[in-house]
């Protein structure tokens, strides 16, 4: 990180935190132990983002497809999520972290929904790091609900639906008030996006690592950011047009 200039630090990092279960199984431990270690890794990465002056961090905590997992694991994940939220919110606020959740909350139990809303309210005044947690989230759902809202808005304004632009639709997606991710990271060795921020990742740089999420810390994040800093981002232009800009 000492070699990375401030102008080459990504503004927004999005992470699929993969490998908790495999980390535990490799140690002959229950998968739930891996998920608890995953919470510790998330805590370390949040601190590292504050240190590196990354302004936005989005973590994929639970996808809309994760309901297909064994019911016991899903229940344990929800309990872990609730307890971690209660335990961590004070420290997050002290670090200047603003917390926001994206996804369909209606499927979550009422107690968890209330705790999520309380955490958002408690951290609303912070701005050092915007931390977004995707819970019961899917990229296709995000685009579908954005399209529904955009069409409804157009009709209410008396505008033809056919005139909707990508920019207008983007205004109704999750994280519409934040810049799109510059850097996407997936741990655990898999090389796919898995229905995460499909709209927002259109021009993100993709970084895949074999490191399992519980072992992914500040040093590993630094390596990902250093790799990002060496890439030329062209956004459809040629290298000659972009020149030395990253």
Tokens of 231: 């890439």
Q: Assign residue 158 a region: left if phi > 0, alpha if psi is -120 to 50, beta otherwise?
A: left
Q: What is the pLDDT along the chain (246 residues), one digit of tens a residue?
A: 667 777 799 999 999 999 999 999 999 999 999 999 999 999 999 999 999 999 999 999 999 999 988 898 899 999 999 999 999 999 999 999 999 999 999 999 999 999 999 999 999 999 999 999 999 999 999 999 999 999 999 999 999 999 999 999 999 999 999 999 999 999 999 999 999 999 999 999 999 999 999 999 999 999 999 999 999 887 777 877 777 554
Q: What is the pTM of this model?
A: 0.93
What pLDDT shows up at residue 237?
77
What pLDDT shows up at residue 239?
77
E strand spans, the chain? 12-16, 56-63, 97-102, 129-137, 183-186, 205-208
What pLDDT shows up at residue 6?
74
Q: Rounded CA gap, 63 and 47, in Å?
A: 24
What pLDDT shows up at residue 235?
75
* Residue 126 CA from chain centroid, whole number: 18
From the number of C-beta atoms within 10 Å of its C-beta (0-12, 13-18, 19+), residue 174 rates as buried
Q: Which residues pair with 46 in a beta bridge?
A: none
The torsion angles phi and psi of 106, rounded to 5 degrees, stand at: -60, -25
Catalytic residue set: 18, 66
Q: Which residues pair with 132 in a beta bridge?
A: 58, 100
User: Is the CB of residue 38 less than 8 Å from the CB of residue 188?
Assistant: no
Cα separations (Å) of 119 from 67, 75, 123, 126, 178?
24, 21, 6, 12, 19
What pLDDT shows up at residue 127?
96
What pLDDT shows up at residue 246?
47
What pLDDT shows up at residue 224?
97
């Amino acid at each position: 990180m000492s070699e990375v200039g401030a102008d080459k630090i990504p503004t927004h990092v999005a992470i699929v935190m993969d490998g908790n279960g495999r980390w535990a199984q490799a140690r002959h431990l229950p998968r739930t132990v891996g998920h608890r270690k995953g919470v510790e890794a998330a805590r370390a990465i949040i601190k590292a983002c504050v240190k590196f002056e990354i302004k936005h961090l989005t973590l994929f905590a639970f996808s809309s497809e994760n309901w297909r997992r064994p019911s016991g694991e899903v229940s344990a994940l929800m309990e872990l999520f609730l307890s971690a939220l209660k335990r961590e919110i004070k420290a997050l606020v002290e670090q200047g972290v603003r917390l926001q959740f994206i996804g369909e909350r209606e499927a979550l139990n009422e107690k968890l929904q209330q705790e999520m809303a309380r955490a958002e309210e408690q951290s609303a005044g912070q701005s050092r790091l915007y931390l977004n947690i995707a819970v019961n989230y899917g990229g296709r759902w995000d685009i579908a609900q954005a399209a529904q809202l955009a069409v409804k808005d157009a009709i209410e304004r008396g505008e033809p639906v056919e005139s909707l632009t990508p920019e207008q639709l983007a205004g109704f997606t999750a994280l519409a008030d934040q810049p799109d991710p510059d850097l996407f990271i997936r741990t655990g060795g898999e090389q796919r996006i898995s229905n995460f921020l499909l709209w927002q990742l259109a021009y993100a740089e993709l970084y895949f690592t074999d490191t399992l999420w519980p072992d992914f810390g500040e040093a590993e994040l630094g390596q990902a950011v250093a790799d990002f800093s060496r890439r030329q981002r062209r956004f459809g232009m040629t290298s000659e047009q972009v020149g030395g800009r990253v």
